[in-house]
Structure 1
Amino acid sequence: MLVKTSAIVLSALKYSESDIIARLYTKELGTQSFILKGIRKSRKGKLRISLFQPLTQLEIETQHKGKGSLEYIKEARVIFPYDHVHNDIVKSSITMFFSEVLTQLLTEQQPDSDLFEYLSSVFQYLDQSDQVANFSIKMLLDMTGFLGFQPDQSTLQFTYFNMLNGNFDENGLQPHHLTDVESAQLKLFIGTNFDGIHEIKMHREDRNSLLNLVIEYFQIHLQTFKKPNSLSILRQLFD
């Protein structure tokens, strides 16, 4: 079945001296893996290795077999050319972080048009925004909504966030609870849209601490989720 679909590159791994395997999240097919033969050495083909940088937004044409094996891309073109994502050191570091995160989260993801449109729009925001210090925390919290463990906003009137139950309560410093200060910082991001996150002022130490806690929250609710290797780079980016 010939399928034309929008797609976001999650990762691309060297497979041989001339091939790569690219993992894409597609609007029509969900997460798919493709083998791209000869792309690391070819300069004349329709498919170029530059098309498969992390988070690149493409339109692809593929002969989908649906057998769970590696598939092939016939044609690909960029549908949203980034201006900064791949050549700005800060944004490229965030890009590598979310390449790792999404490669873990979307391993067998089925088609979800809402999730696809969210990812497409949020990476366009990352490319165009001048203030992205709080981007990673906000996006991770948004992803919890798609994955089924979003913090319960109906309990925001309570003081302490319970990492295990995903809600706020008054149980104090019990196991799996954030402190009152950490919980208050988390609340600043819940319900805030991307246009407002630059108004959340935090020192680097506090931001890094909250980012670590959000990643811990993922690890509690997704037992296979591992701390991304690029997290150490992300921690050094902002004042």
Structure 2
Amino acid sequence: MVTKTRGIVIKYLKYQESSIIVQIFTEQYGLMSFMVNGIRSPRSKRSIGYFQAFSLLELVAYIKPNRSIQRLSEYKYYATAHHIQQDIRKGTIVLFLSEILSKLLTHEQGESHERLFAFLSNAIITFDSLQSEIENFHLHFLLKMLPFVGLDVEDGTALIHSMELEMIEEDHNLITFISSIISSDYTEPVHGSGALRFKALELILNYYEHHTTQLGEIKSLKVLHQVFR
């Protein structure tokens, strides 16, 4: 059937000579894969830029239950996030977070996908508009996403205790930094060195992996460290 919905691009893969298979988290159905024919052809009238990670799209698609790859008919932006692609720091964070999401999101997200879609959409629009506090966005994002994967922590101490990491319980700077991130929004300044941010990120990623799924190698992590060191 033909369906209209909104979606957030997670990633795409090249398919054959001129097409792509794009992974999109949709408002109505959760995570889905779509075939987009001819988008990479020199004769294509549409830009592949529509399918950059974190593009916010309004979609018309042919949805068939139990089919692994759906057909995308029409697409346009429902909100623009062009600053993300024009700013190398923002683009690096998007690259990292889209890789994390591609590992965390499943096709069986359940009834929570509408709330998760709203969270992702609002976060991306906010991130696109940020003029400062960019360097902490991925930490905010990962901590605020915890409830959507069945987890939550009240503060930095609770996060460390849940991991039974007694060796770093006395790292008060790390505890205070993570607690400040948890209790603030994306726009509020939370000061910390690059080394402290990386230590916090390592702890958060370990928390995800310990409680949810195997994240495996995160290829974009090295680039993130290089840009924000």
Q: TM-score higher than 0.5 here?
A: yes
Q: Partners of 2:140 and 2:156 in 1: how far apart?
A: 20
CA deviations on 1:87-130 (whole Å, 9 max, x unpaired) are: 21101111111110111111222452221111111111111101
Q: How many residues align?
A: 226
2:17 corresponds to which residue? 17
Give the structure 2 partner of residue 4 of structure 1: 4
In 1, Cα distance between equivalents of 2:195 and 2:176: 15
- Name the SS of the counterpart of 1:33 in structure 2: strand
Superposed displacement of residue 65, structure 1: 0.6
Are positions 1:232 and 2:183 aligned together? no
Paired residue for 1:170?
none
Q: Secondary structure of the equivalent of 2:124?
A: helix
Counterparts in 2 of 1:163 and 1:94: CA distance versus 1, 3 Å = same
Is the contact between residue 215 and residue 227 of structure 1 (CA under 8 Å) also seen in structure 2?
A: no
Aligned 1:184-223 pairs, distance under 5 A = 184-196=176-188, 199-223=189-213
CA distance 1:133–1:158, shift in 2 (3 Å)? closer
- Say if 1:163 and 1:178, in contact at 8 Å, map to a contact too: no
**Structure 1 Cα separation of the partners of residues 156 and 41 of structure 2:** 58
Query: What's the counterpart of residue 63 of structure 1?
Result: 62
Q: Give the number of the structure whose residues are more often helix, by fraction.
A: 2
Task: Measure, in 1, the Cα distance between the counterparts of 2:156 and 2:56.
Answer: 39
CA distance in 2, matches of 1:83, 1:225: 28
Contact 1:101 1:228 in 2 (8 A): yes
The answer for the alignment partner of 1:146 in structure 2 is: 148
Q: Is the 8 Å Cα contact of residues 31 and 110 (structure 1) preserved in structure 2?
A: no
Unpaired runs of 5+ residues, structure 1, are 166-172
Identity %: 29
1:67 counterpart SS class: coil
Check 1:213–1:16 CA distance in 2 against 1; reply closer, same or farther (3 A cut): same
Supply the RMSD in Å over aligned alpha carbons: 2.2
What amino acid is aligned across from residue 16 of structure 1 in structure 2?
Q
What TM-score comes out, normalization by structure 2 length?
0.90
Instruction: Give secondary structure in 2 for the equivalent of 1:229.
Output: coil
List runs of 5+ in structure 2 lacking aligned partners.
none
Structure 1 length normalisation: TM-score? Answer: 0.86
